[in-house]
Structure 1
Amino acid sequence: MKKFSYLSHLTCPKCQARYSAGEIRQLCECGSPLLVEYNLEDLKKDMKREELEDRRETLWRYHELLPVEQEENVVTMGEGFTPLLKAPAIGNRIGVSELYIKDEGLIPTGSFKARGASAGVSKAKELGVKELAMPTNGNAGAAWSLYAARAGMKSWIVMPVDAPVVTRKEVAISGANLFLVNGLISDAGKMVSSLVQKRGFYDASTLKEPYRIEGKKTMGLEIAEQLGWEVPDVILYPTGGGVGIIGIYKALKELQQLGWIAEDKLPRLVAVQAENCAPIVKAWEEGKSESEFWENSTTQAFGINVPKAIGDFLVLEAIYKTNGCGAAVSEEAIEEAQRQTAEQEGLFLCPEGAAVIAAAKDLKEKGWIKDGERVVCLNTGQGIKYADTVEAEAPVLEPGSNIPN
């Protein structure tokens, strides 16, 4: 009989240690993040991809490839299956005729973080978690605190004091225990680690639990399905902690094992960062397998202001294995891409999504993206959540006056 989930176990990508998925497990004993494994051979025999066609358009349509074993533990707000939009105007402007934007702004809590929160909170519920803690640059904390509230859990969230105000308010209204730190997400992470050790809370920090990746990987599953089970040539992703690009790579490899996409082609994955915080890009340029801590990092694309990611080696592996690359863009290029995409496509991208458009433009100009290639850019959230970064000056008129030409 076909199961709700084909979950098998957890494995360490560094030392290959194996752990049960039926108990709370944060990191491997060697300190590495853990990855979720599935009984893909059984699933391949039990299911055809055509069975998805009549299912609800949420990420839980892929429940066999998600870690929750009992359907009643699923915590959902209808997240997933966001549109994959052809963007001909901005595509023509930057020289990429087959440009698509996967718009994650149209999702609960307004960012792709809802995917990881849905999968992560659902599995935490299944494992009996009552309280969780995490550092955040904003959107992840908003998503996890709201999904935790829906699951009846308490959450403890620490974010930099200059994180987007909207996300701070989302956390506050969820009833979470919110704390601000006068520093970076790395400083918030140290505070959460101390809290976890003292209070024994479930650590929901990026990649310190294995299940956030599983929610994020559904972006890769959706892209493949939305393109008729043909993968694009290039996928560009704004990279901070890197969970999204790790998840997309994992999803595509699983689809290959299932025989749902061709075995001989994967899209070239691009990790996009800001010039003032580009540790993974620097590591890729130097051919390294891990990045170094980036001192004094700063960028308006706050979600990718991560000076050192615990899963950087997994991001770099995804880039190397797909013949991808790292790309860093300037603050000016981010602003220009955000404005042009709004003016020409009607899409108000978040700064992180705008960074991806800017990177696509640079890579096309350098010849790395070839004419006619199908390119997918991820917009990871709503631009309106970063409203303070956008100027909106306009003349003030007296009632009854004429509008100037």
Structure 2
Amino acid sequence: MVVSCLRSRIVSLKCVKCGCEFDFHQNVNFCLECGSIVEFQMDYDVIGSIVSKAKISLRGFNMWRYREFIPIEDYSNIVSMGEGWTQLIKSRRLGSTLGLRNLYFKLDSLNPTGSFKDRGASAAVSRALELKAPGLVGFSTGNAGVAQAAYCALANIGSIVLAPKYASREKIASIMMYGSRVLLVDGTFDDASRLAKAVADKIGWIYNGGVVNPIRQEGKKTLAYEVCEQLGWVPPDWYIQSVGMGTAAIGACKGFKELLILDWIERMPRIACVQAEGCAPMVKAFKSKSEFVEPVEEPKTIASAIAVGNPAGWPLLNRYLRECDGIVEAVSDDEIIEAYKMLARFEGIYAEPAAAAPLALVKKLLESSIIDEDDVIVCVISGFGLKDVSTTLRVVGEPTTVSNNVDDVLKFISQS
């Protein structure tokens, strides 16, 4: 891979609230003036002068085919396992069942560690190498921790993950398998976040979690590029994403906006974010038009991957959603479970509960006549079902046991 010296395509890190700017060579998580989160600023004139849709079409099929858009200065620092360019498939059965002609599923559950978090982890670990950081201290409900652990292992740097005690045991075991140190916090996701920051500050590692590490959304914005390219550089009418911290939705919004700035697409899609009713602080903030969330102290939902009670990404996500006429809605656990089963039984897609929430929202928006039967709708399937087998076992129950006799087997089949 060619090493880039085009520093000018990366401008700065900028506070989303007060506008203060910082040197992008610094490891900055929060504004040093007001404490808000920061975001990378890119020079799109420079990017547009060095890359084109035609040039991208000749590259390898992973998220780094869009490398000029990602703020990594020296491409030799890229740490990749081929993440990205996941399949975008048109529904074979659910679309017709629901009366939708253009329902698509973006299978980000097929990334190397089984979730969309690999996009952010690849970017985060690449930046860690660029900053010569010894390791990352992350906080996670599971998927982000798994991705961090895997990419840190590949890069041979340290990894520490703090997770709430309710995190999926399958995910915790995966993090440990990669050699990362894991600590289960007797508290919430937000408690894990607070402790991770304190640890990172003490030992001098990068604080890594959601939007508080601004490189993460820069990796996740490649979802938007891929969806548009896979649809012939035409954006969908609706892009639907489940959200906890909001990092992936922020990235997607930014990605679509960047393509619009470069005139690679002609319009923005509407972005629909979905939360579980048992943990929906952003839904409440959106509907009350508030710039601040009211934290959920005890999240209660089957969708543990999006059980984030105090999402730091809301100020930035709120801004982007207002720009694209986006929405944030909640669905119940019962609606999530129904969508979870429908994805598997109608489309052969085994998603974890949080990844089924976008389909649950599609049904809700359709019933409310907010989406139209001809709309092009993309649901992001963010995590694989094996991430949370315990939930699957509760949903499907125990298998039937029969004797070692073919007549008994045939009798059971005929009666079932």
TM-score bucket of the superposed structures, by smaller chain: over 0.9
Counterpart among 197, 206, 224 of residue 193 in structure 1: 197
1:77 is the counterpart of 2:81:
yes
Counterpart among 9, 14, 17 of residue 12 in structure 2: 9
Residue 257 (structure 1) shift: 1.4
Matching of residues 280-319 of structure 1 within 5 Å: 280-319=282-321
C-alpha distance after superposition, 1:205-237 (max 9, x if no partner): 222221001111000110111111111111111
C-alpha contact 1:94 1:361 (8 A) present in aligned 2: yes
C-alpha contact 1:277 1:299 (8 A) present in aligned 2: yes
Equivalent residue number for residue 266 of structure 1: 268
Identity %, equivalent residues = 34
Residue 4 (structure 1) shift: 6.8
Counterpart among 176, 179, 187 of residue 175 in structure 1: 179
1:21 is the counterpart of 2:49:
no
TM-score under structure 2 normalisation? 0.94
How far apart, CA to CA, are the structure 2 residues paired with 1:66 and 1:218? 9
C-alpha contact 1:269 1:318 (8 A) present in aligned 2: no
How far apart, CA to CA, are the structure 2 residues paired with 1:241 and 1:94? 30
Residue 135 (structure 1) shift: 1.0
Relative distance call for 1:74 and 1:2 in structure 2 (3 A) is closer
Equivalent residue number for residue 258 of structure 2: 254
C-alpha contact 1:4 1:63 (8 A) present in aligned 2: no
Partner secondary structure for residue 377 of structure 1: strand
TM-score under structure 1 normalisation? 0.96
Equivalent residue number for residue 161 of structure 1: 165
C-alpha contact 1:95 1:361 (8 A) present in aligned 2: no
Equivalent residue number for residue 359 of structure 2: 357
Equivalent residue number for residue 325 of structure 1: 327
C-alpha contact 2:30 2:212 (8 A) present in aligned 1: yes
Partner secondary structure for residue 207 of structure 1: helix
Residue 400 (structure 1) shift: 2.3
Residue 317 (structure 1) shift: 1.8
Relative distance call for 1:154 and 1:339 in structure 2 (3 A) is same
Aligned letter for 1:91?
G
Residue 260 (structure 1) shift: 1.0
C-alpha distance after superposition, 1:284-322 (max 9, x if no partner): 111222211013211111111001111111122222221
Equivalent residue number for residue 245 of structure 1: 249
C-alpha contact 1:245 1:318 (8 A) present in aligned 2: no
Matching of residues 320-399 of structure 1 within 5 Å: 320-390=322-392, 391-399=396-404
Aligned letter for 1:22?
H
C-alpha contact 1:95 1:364 (8 A) present in aligned 2: no
Q: How many residues align?
A: 403
Equivalent residue number for residue 147 of structure 1: 151
Aligned letter for 1:12?
C
C-alpha contact 2:137 2:200 (8 A) present in aligned 1: yes
C-alpha distance after superposition, 1:81-138 (max 9, x if no partner): 0011101411222332211110111111100000000001101111010022111100
Residue 162 (structure 1) shift: 2.2
1:278 is the counterpart of 2:265:
no
Relative distance call for 1:389 and 1:51 in structure 2 (3 A) is same
How far apart, CA to CA, are the structure 2 residues paired with 1:53 and 1:200? 40
Matching of residues 36-185 of structure 1 within 5 Å: 36-185=40-189
C-alpha contact 2:138 2:207 (8 A) present in aligned 1: yes
Q: Decide which moves more: 64-73 or 390-399.
A: 390-399
Partner secondary structure for residue 132 of structure 1: strand
Residue 180 (structure 1) shift: 0.7
Relative distance call for 1:45 and 1:200 in structure 2 (3 A) is closer
Aligned letter for 1:332?
D
The unaligned stretches of length 5 or more in structure 2 are: none
How far apart, CA to CA, are the structure 1 residues paired with 2:92 and 2:372? 16
Q: Decide which moves more: 191-200 or 175-184.
A: 191-200
Residue 201 (structure 1) shift: 2.3
C-alpha contact 2:211 2:312 (8 A) present in aligned 1: yes
C-alpha contact 2:240 2:358 (8 A) present in aligned 1: yes
C-alpha contact 1:290 1:316 (8 A) present in aligned 2: no
C-alpha contact 1:10 1:34 (8 A) present in aligned 2: yes
Aligned letter for 2:350?
F
Residue 344 (structure 1) shift: 0.7
